[in-house]
Amino acid sequence: MIAAIIDIVASRDADVRERRRLDKEIRGLLDQTYERFKEYCLAIPALTQGDSVELLVRSWQPIVFLFQRLLMEELEFRVGLGTGEVTLHKEIADECDGPAFWNAREALDEIKNTKYLNRSAGFKIDEKTSNHEYNAVVNSILFLTTLLGLSTTQLRHCFYYIWERKRISEIAKAVKTSKGNVSKTLSKTPCYLLKEVMKFLDR
């Protein structure tokens, strides 16, 4: 199993009103992720009282989807990914525990304790991890590295192209701009390659 613990950095300095807005926004993104990738989620994604998101999944898709949605909303975050066994106490992710979550927390703590490097992601793999789970963790990190290099506009256009499978004319209508602007924006991103890679990984 793959556990992801995502620490939302923006919430740390927010006032009460802003925290409520962020809480509602993040819960909405988690609902989107779960409804879209329910088959890959072993528990319902959760937002903890400590402003961390917890996922328990068996594939890279829900992790990468949530990464992109958070970045589209300009929410800064750090993430720790871990693999291993998990005890499913209830159907919500933050009520589960086990080596996968321990490894994810350890990876996240390592990022927080790194003083001289600007790191946003880390991972710790259990020695009994399957090749499928190992590859899912690595793919998630690589996709995140690519997404971090895109602007908010590029992220939005790529989201419609990759995840919603919209044509350029449909994207232009959705974001209220010209087809030329959409085409120009997409041409400056690796979204065409990302889409092909995702199709390959889905096979």
Domain boundaries, the chain: 2-148, 150-203
Structural element, H or E, at residue 4:
strand 2-8
Q: What is the pTM of this model?
A: 0.91
List the structure tokens of 193: 């390659």
At 18-66, the pLDDT tens digits run 778 888 899 999 999 999 999 999 999 998 876 789 999 999 999 999 9
Structural element, H or E, at residue 124:
strand 121-124
At 86-100, the pLDDT tens digits run 887 678 877 777 899
CATH number assigned to the domain covering 2-148: 3.30.70.270
